[in-house]
Amino acid sequence: MSPGPQAPSAVVTPHATDGIWYASYPPDVPREIDPARYRSLAHFFDESVARFRDQVAFVSLGSELSFAALGAKAHAFASYLQDIGVKPGDRVALMMPNTLAYPVALFGTLIAGAIVVNVNPLYTVRELSHQLKDSGAQTIVVFENFAKTLQDAQPGSRIRNVIVTGLGDLLGRGLNVKGRAIDLYLRHVKKQVPAYALPDAVRLPHALALGARRAFEAVRTGHGDIALIQYTGGTTGVAKGAMLTHRNVIANLLQALAWTRGVLVDGREIVVTPLPLYHIYSLTANALVSVAVGARNVLIVNPRDIDALVRTLRHENFTTITALNTLYSALMDHEEFRRRDFSALKLAMAGGMATQRAVAERFRAMTGRALVEGYGLTECSPLVCATPLERQGADSFDGTIGLPVPSTLVRLRRDDGSWANIGEPGELCVHGPQVMKGYWNRPEETAGVIDAHGWLATGDVGVMDARGFVTLIDRKKDMMIVSGFNVYPNEIEDVLAAHPKVRAVAAVGVPDPVTGERVKAFVVRRDASLSVEELLKFARLHLTGYKVPSYVEFRDALPLTTIGKVLRRELRDAELQRQSRE
């Protein structure tokens, strides 16, 4: 058995559990991948464009963008970035939903040798301000619906170059009548674009036109260079940027391609992308994998609008879809989706949150395909484990997260720091080429999760069986997952505690059949006049919607340890017991 990948600066001592999963690998899946296959993500992109130039790469609102057009626009964007002074290693923030502008800006930034900083468009001013300041981004591409948030967050940041894009951009050639009509409708009829003042901003089509007239200056980007700064709560509640190098992302792309070998066929796939590409799960599984296999990638701007999503799928005989447990559940509740023909469907991936047995079994009964579960985290680019695709015909849902993907070692660590044996629970630790370089400008926190031998401690507790399949039995002790998004109590508590009428607060996750979990806040009031409505109004000013508590309970005191630390677990356990009695 292979001892697995080696850390670049230290030897990984083999352990008895290493590689037992290889015997369970499907016959077409290799044990190892070679990240040297591509020099950089720009090399990967240019090669795919050359291979599939006449194929459709992305589709949005019925408009298609070929690989050739995508390549030309991405290079034009890279040239524009060079023209405004963006150098290799500079950070470029992308703040937009799934539109044609996103892959153009993503690959253009990488071609220019700059670092992509993905930003959730729904961020509040406070959240955006933190990310811009922390990353040091000087350039941002922002969807016009959220330009007012940028305007309010820009003071104190280093942002000096603003490119604004709208839903209608890139939907047509020449005058783009269709795109202009859509933008006018959203601005003046739907009133979805709040007034903003960014006087020096440039519209994306104009930036691309300028870049197309300028000669691109080749950039040498290598494996060790940072490709993405992907923000995450990590193992604490402080939002910090995971530095993912070109090697990290290339390795994870190749791991995903190795796992789907024999299933996905070059130039023949139609991929549905409802999950936001700014999320690392969708970015790797959808944006990169689809480009690698020359797929037709159908972008969904707003997956919450299930009716619009289903209408889009009327015209797409899709072969692959990636979604969350909650989205699969919502789709299966839609009568038109239930009636469609699923004979072309090859692969339905579920990740981002735990998949419920009822949802998985219902999906298999409806489509004839099992939901392929996986496990990953931002710090691993993100894929770590996945269910073998050959098990799609299995009659039951076993709840495992599958096997470690090629070139990946997974071990379980006991509380005393020693490695656990088969069948023994421990903290899941990962070693492989997809493990991040570290946290941006946070060496101490990096050292807290990556040891001297390159092992990343995930904070998740799991167990491995004799076949190598991993099952999670507990999660990071305080983290919540709401509709697939990591939510950390520290951030929520910091915001609520800033209200002048709050004395103390603790936030925990409570089970929810739709979102997986919802946030509940336990609050000790400083002023008895504080109401739930007043507190939630305050929370909405500073927190993205999915982080705002769904429930608030006022208490006279919170349970504390002997050193005064709030016992969140005691609150959570009491809440679970209360729910079980009801």
Q: Give 356-388 as a DSSP string.
A: PHHHHHHHHHHHS--EEEEEE-GGGSSEEEE--
191 burial class (0-12, 13-18, 19+ CB within 10 angstroms)?
exposed
- Angstrom CA distances, 332 to 111, 218, 307, 319, 339, stand at 40, 48, 12, 17, 10
Residue 564 has pLDDT above 60, yes or no: no
How does DSSP classify residue 225? S
Give the pLDDT mean for 318-343: 93
How does DSSP classify residue 450? B
Lowest-confidence pick of 206-210, 389-393, 511-515: 389-393
Between CA 473 and CA 351 the distance in angstroms is: 16
pLDDT score of 566: 79
Tokens 């770590």, residue located: 384
Give the closest residue to 247 by CA, choosing from 219, 278, 225: 225
- What is the SS3 assignment for 299? strand
Between CA 348 and CA 362 the distance in angstroms is: 13
Residue 281 has pLDDT above 90, yes or no: yes
Residue 55 has pLDDT above 70, yes or no: yes
Are the C-beta atoms of 351 and 281 separated by less than 8 Å?
yes
251's tokens: 């390795």
Between CA 261 and CA 219 the distance in angstroms is: 32
Question: Could you tell me whether strands 270-273 and 371-376 are parallel, antiparallel, or unpaired per DSSP bridges?
Answer: unpaired
Give the pLDDT mean for 72-86: 98
Are the C-beta atoms of 215 and 82 separated by less than 8 Å?
no
Residue 257 has pLDDT above 70, yes or no: yes
pLDDT score of 474: 66
Confidence band of 562 (pLDDT split at 50, 70, 90): very low
Confidence band of 7 (pLDDT split at 50, 70, 90): very low
Give the closest residue to 90 by CA, choosing from 132, 137, 129, 131: 137
Question: What is 20-31+400-474's CATH topology?
Answer: Luciferase; domain 3 (2.30.38)
Between CA 247 and CA 31 the distance in angstroms is: 18
Confidence band of 237 (pLDDT split at 50, 70, 90): low
Q: Does domain 480-581 have CATH number 3.30.300.30?
A: yes
Tokens 């691309």, residue located: 208
Between CA 491 and CA 485 the distance in angstroms is: 14
Between CA 394 and CA 4 the distance in angstroms is: 29
- What is the SS3 assignment for 65? strand
Tokens 């405004």, residue located: 84
pLDDT score of 320: 97
- Among 34-48, 322-336, 354-368, top mean pLDDT goes to 34-48
- Single pTM value for the model: 0.87
Q: Which CATH class is domain 40-221?
A: alpha beta
pLDDT score of 576: 85
- What is the SS3 assignment for 580? helix
pLDDT score of 488: 80
Measured in degrees and rounded to the nearest 5, phi and psi for residue 232 equal -155, 160
Domain ranges of the chain: 20-31+400-474, 40-221, 480-581
Give the residue ranges of DSSP H helices in 515-564. Answer: 532-542
Give the residue ranges of DSSP H helices in 277-382. Answer: 280-282, 289-292, 306-313, 325-332, 335-339, 357-367
Residue 333 or 326, more confident: 333
459's tokens: 């904070």
Question: Could you tell me whether strands 320-323 and 480-482 are parallel, antiparallel, or unpaired per DSSP bridges?
Answer: unpaired
Give the closest residue to 324 by CA, choosing from 516, 83, 72, 51: 516
Q: What percent of the chain shows pLDDT beyond 90?
A: 74
Between CA 225 and CA 227 the distance in angstroms is: 6
Residue 9 has pLDDT above 80, yes or no: no
Q: What percent of the chain shows pLDDT beyond 70?
A: 94
Are the C-beta atoms of 286 and 277 separated by less than 8 Å?
yes
